[in-house]
């Protein structure tokens, strides 16, 4: 399924029905009086968070949504039927903004949460409503009000406890497949992962947590280089970041420089990102060249005050210790 995390839509609530002008007509009752009913209320447009959805693809086409109108009032004081509400389901974690002003209207962060984005018009009053002791035969009624119409921008920010970040080909997808039932695409080339992937990690009696594999970041990601600008938003809600490092290319790769480069991109995108708890994990420890340098790399990061773990996403070595450390920090 195609991953879409930003759409623009136009929503229109239903118009209210018109009130009715009618007079009671029965045998032997010459002066029945007004009996025109009110019009029905127009339907609302409601957005509801659905935990089963993970993309805004369904809202890409069509991009216009309209609720039902209320029906007109009738004689014999019959009120028109209210228009049906239009319920639009969107993924949990979607921000709803007014597209013209940019104002944040609502942030749907839990399953089942609803928000009325456009209110249906009120139904017009029938002529029976205007009868008084002085004016007993009103011959006018109200028209129904127009429903609200507005343009919206929907931005999806995935809800995850942990964000996996790193340079392309660092092994994030392999690690995610090792610790969860997620099956992201894995390949020996950069930018294998083109969209964020989510995986649920079970931990015995403890509460499971959600891990997001963010597509490979590169220098300049905060300015749009690579895929970074598109998906950096999805680490904003995470409580903890795991930096996955890869030095399998040899001495040409400086892990500290890579780490600082990624943090610079996080800071440039939003300063709050570098304030999150961060864990450093050196991947591909199963390779002899990486294992030889692991101790020196660990010492450098621990001197900087960072928690460090050496793992192999391929064989599973050290992964249990990493998961236990994440669990303790989340608790």
* CA–CA separation, 54 and 49 (whole Å): 10
239 and 315 belong to one structural domain: yes
Nearest to 38 by CA among 11, 17, 58, 60: 17
Predicted confidence (pLDDT) at residue 165 exceeds the cutoff of 90: no
- Sequence-distant (6+) residues with CB within 8 A of 246 are 166, 167, 169, 170, 171, 253, 283, 284
Tokens representing 303? 């001197």
For 122-131, 172-181, 304-313, 319-328, which range has the lowest pLDDT when averaged over its residues? 172-181
Query: Which of 156, 180, 203 corresponds to the end of one domain?
Result: 156
277 burial level (CB within 10 Å; 0-12, 13-18, 19+): middle
The domain that holds 297 is classified in CATH as 3.40.50.300
Domain, as residue range, for 273: 162-330
289 and 140 belong to one structural domain: no
Nearest to 210 by CA among 218, 198, 221: 198
Query: Which of 87, 121, 156 corresponds to the end of one domain?
Result: 156
Query: Which of 106, 137, 156 corresponds to the end of one domain?
Result: 156
185 and 40 belong to one structural domain: no
Res 190: pLDDT = 45
Res 223: pLDDT = 47
6 and 138 belong to one structural domain: yes
Q: Mean per-residue pLDDT for 57-63? A: 83
The pLDDT tens digits for 228-259 are 455 677 788 888 999 998 888 777 778 898 88
119 and 41 belong to one structural domain: yes
1 and 147 belong to one structural domain: yes
Res 213: pLDDT = 82
85 and 170 belong to one structural domain: no
The better pLDDT of the pair 71, 276 is held by 71
The domain that holds 90 is classified in CATH as 2.70.210.12
Position 14 confidence tier, pLDDT thresholds 50, 70, 90:
very high
For residues 222 and 214, the answer to whether their CB atoms sit within 8 Å is no
130 and 217 belong to one structural domain: no
223 and 146 belong to one structural domain: no
For 46-55, 202-211, 278-287, 298-307, which range has the lowest pLDDT when averaged over its residues? 202-211
146 and 166 belong to one structural domain: no
Position 205 confidence tier, pLDDT thresholds 50, 70, 90:
low
Q: Which helix H or strand E contains 34, and what residues bound it?
A: none
Res 230: pLDDT = 59
187 and 320 belong to one structural domain: yes
Domain count, the chain: 2
173 and 297 belong to one structural domain: yes
* CA–CA separation, 132 and 23 (whole Å): 15
Res 68: pLDDT = 96
């Amino acid at each position: 399924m195609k991953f879409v995390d930003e759409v623009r839509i136009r929503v229109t609530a239903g118009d209210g029905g018109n009130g009715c002008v009618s007079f009671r007509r029965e045998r032997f009752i010459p002066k029945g009086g007004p009996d025109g009913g009110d019009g029905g209320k127009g339907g609302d447009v409601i957005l509801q968070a659905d935990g089963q959805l993970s993309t805004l693809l369904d809202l890409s086409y069509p991009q216009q949504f309209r609720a039902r109108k209320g029906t007109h009032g009738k004689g014999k004081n019959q009120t028109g039927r209210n228009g049906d509400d239009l319920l639009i389901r969107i993924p949990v974690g979607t921000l709803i903004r007014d597209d013209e002003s940019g104002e944040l209207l609502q942030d749907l962060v839990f399953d089942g949460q609803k928000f009325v984005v456009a209110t249906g018009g009120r139904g017009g009053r029938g002529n029976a409503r205007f009868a008084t002791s002085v004016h007993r035969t009103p011959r006018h009624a109200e028209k129904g009000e127009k429903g609200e119409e507005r343009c919206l921008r929907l931005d999806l920010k995935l809800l995850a406890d942990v964000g996996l970040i790193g340079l392309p080909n660092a092994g994030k997808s392999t690690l995610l497949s090792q610790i969860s039932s997620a099956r992201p695409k894995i390949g020996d080339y950069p930018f294998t992962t083109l969209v964020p992937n989510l995986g649920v990690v079970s931990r015995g009696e403890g509460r499971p947590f959600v891990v997001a594999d963010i597509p490979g970041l590169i220098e300049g990601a905060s300015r749009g280089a690579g895929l970074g600008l598109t998906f950096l938003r999805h680490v904003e809600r995470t409580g903890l970041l795991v930096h996955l490092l890869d030095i399998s290319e040899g001495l040409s790769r400086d892990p500290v420089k890579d780490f600082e480069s990624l943090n610079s991109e996080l800071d440039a995108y939003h300063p709050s990102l570098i304030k999150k708890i961060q864990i450093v994990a050196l991947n591909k420890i199963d390779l002899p060249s990486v294992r030889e340098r692991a101790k020196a790399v660990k010492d450098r990061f621990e001197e900087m005050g960072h928690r460090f773990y050496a793992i192999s996403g391929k064989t599973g070595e050290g992964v249990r210790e990493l998961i236990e450390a994440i669990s303790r920090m989340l608790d």
